[in-house]
Amino acid sequence: MYREVLRGLLIACILLSPWSGTGAQPARPAAEAPEIKLDEQTTLKATALEARMAAVVANFALLQRQAQDMQQELKQILEDRKKLIEDAAKKNRIDVGDPNEWMFENKGQRYVKIKRTP
């Protein structure tokens, strides 16, 4: 379940980032390309918008990195959880099967197998 959530988050991050591989640097216009001249007031607004856009892109890149770090951390947690369940099951001579089918019950301080309905 956690893997699907992280996979969806990572895919959303990749799909929503139009500058993910370009470093947020727009292509230079060709010499013969048309141009739009701006007055001083409009230039200030355009500069502010471009700065805000660069900040959003930078924050998005940071978010992607954080998502990758969280994915690695979750992977390690799931491995540790699997080992814990398997070790505890060996002591109790119980066949675990898939560790993802076990849920921790805090009140009873135990793992119980989740009943799946087809």
Using CA atoms, how far apart are residues 75 and 3, in angstroms rounded to an integer?
Answer: 8
- Residues of the chain above pLDDT 70, percent: 73
**Torsion sign, CA atoms 25, 31, 34, 39:** positive
CB count in 10 Å sphere of residue 111: 20
Task: Give the per-residue pLDDT at 10.
Answer: 53
Place of tokens 């591989």: 21
pLDDT score at 65:
96
The whole-model pTM stands at: 0.57
What element of type H or E holds 62? helix 40-92
pLDDT tens for residues 63-92?
Answer: 999 999 999 999 999 999 999 999 999 999
Distance separating alpha carbons of residues 93 and 107, to the nearest angstrom:
22
Q: What is the pLDDT of residue 69?
A: 97
pLDDT lower than 70: segments of the chain: 1-30
pLDDT attached to residue 13: 55
| Exposure b/e, 76-92, CB count within 10 A at least 16 = b | eeeeebeeebeeebeee
pLDDT for position 55: 97
User: What integer pLDDT is reported at residue 18 of this predicted model?
Assistant: 52
The predicted structure's pLDDT at residue 24: 52
Q: Report the pLDDT value the prediction gives residue 72, as an integer from 0 to 100.
A: 97
For the beta carbon of residue 68, count every other beta carbon within 10 angstroms: 13
Helix-strand-coil split of the chain, %, nearest 5: 60, 5, 35
